[in-house]
Structure 1
């Protein structure tokens, strides 16, 4: 008798969306336009960040959270650089803080979105493979996933000082083999991320994974990428220009 394995229809992959908070000014980059709108290779950094999300196989929707007074400008800018046909993009007004802006981006998501990636607009050159790796880990069952790199510098813990610029007393030297520098996009089960934001409205975490940690929910790391660095200061912008020029030369962009 021939064995016949019954066909079991697999459920479709959970739909994923990316939320990009881009309402900050980025003052450390110097005077001028908001950081997300600074040009990189002749194109605003925000456009590069949206492209990185939209090119990932996992992403069906990109939500950009823009400064409230610049929603129309950002929407027009992104219309000039449309995503692939299978990807939708949406622009909504942000809040006074990054955490508030992420909450507003989450509120704009359709109900069927189950996986959410939160990505910094100031990380315009994150490789597509990193985006897909984060989304895949969430789809495989991890409630919170963060790309990260080993820390290569020795790190010191210091005591608080009375005034900025004063000598800082060192109190400890953490074992750097146990430290990681985290990046974005950070990926989450949508319900978990919503619960984390509802539980903490005080804007006390520096990233969304930190909010999830406060719930007691496990966060796991996947390998990050050296080109997913954050453009914060003028030197970072020069490095980003060099990376972009190299990608264009090697047809990697």
Structure 2
């Protein structure tokens, strides 16, 4: 998923096309997907940057590479995922991962854990980390209403993995969600959590971008 505007990042281009260590976030994300053994990679990009996305993939095409596809995103995240699914017309693919280019540095090992969990029988699998901060539920006036037990809370990352038909069914009626697993949950299907990774952080602000540059310099 590379269709986000990246407003909070303050960049002059969509977030996925901001560079870290000489490559765009999109290019870093695609390289890891390829390293993780993807059979096909569908990039969902802003309509204004389709050519740039295609150029990035062309530089990565070649013998032994997976199928690489670029499509335009929609108005909402769910619309963009649906567009990517429509472009992936391959009955031989049984597991589909939905990944954010903003989490470009997710290690390949996380991809593996997600895929293994789906192939082991889960309808969906999501990487996550335990929540270390105390979380408060507040109302519209800023008044605290409850304090959930953080032992049961997880901070969810991507890629999220799904049985191919499960994900297609989740998007069949055009419902919207900021998290694809939520659509599967709403169907009453089984979603499991696997271990995430600190390097799967989301680049959202200039501070995140600086952290990514620093991680690269340290060889992470």
TM-score, normalization: structure 1?
0.83
Tell me which residue corresponds to 2:195: 223
**Which residue is 1:112 aligned to?**
92
Which residue in 1 is equivalent to 2:180? 208
Provide the aligned C-alpha RMSD in A: 1.4
Which of 135, 150, 155 does residue 155 from structure 1 map onto?
135
Q: Deviation at 1:71?
A: 1.3
- 1:33 aligned partner: 13
- Preserved CA contact (<8 Å) 1:54 1:84: no
Please, which of 100, 113, 127 is the counterpart of residue 79 of structure 2?
100
Quickly say closer, same or farther: Cα 1:147–1:84, change in 2 above 3 A.
farther
| Inter-partner Cα distance in structure 1 for 2:77 and 2:83 | 10
Deviations 1:161-219 (A, max 9, x none): 3xxxxxx11111110011000000000001111111113x242x221000100101110
| Distance change >3 Å, CA 100–CA 143, structure 1 → 2 | same
**1:176 and 1:84 mapped to 2: Cα distance?**
48
Q: Does 1:56 align with 2:36?
A: yes
Q: Which has the higher helix share?
A: 2
**Does 2:115 correspond to 1:143?**
no
1:62–1:87 Cα contact (<8 Å) kept:
yes
Q: Equivalents in 1 of 2:65, 2:128: separation in Å? A: 29
Aligned residue pairs: how many? 219
Match of residue 9 from structure 1: none
CA contact (8 A) 1:54 1:83 kept: no
Assess, with a 3 A threshold, how the Cα gap between structure 1 residues 77 and 86 changes in structure 2: closer, same or farther.
closer
Structure 2 residue runs of 5 or longer lacking an equivalent are none
Q: Which runs of 5+ in 1 are unaligned?
A: 1-20, 162-167
Structure number with bigger Rg: 1
Provide the secondary structure at the position in 1 that maps to 2:97. strand
Separation in 2, partners of 1:84, 1:126? 25
Counterpart of 1:80 in structure 2 is: 59
SS at match of 1:91: strand
Distance 2:86 2:60 in 1: 24
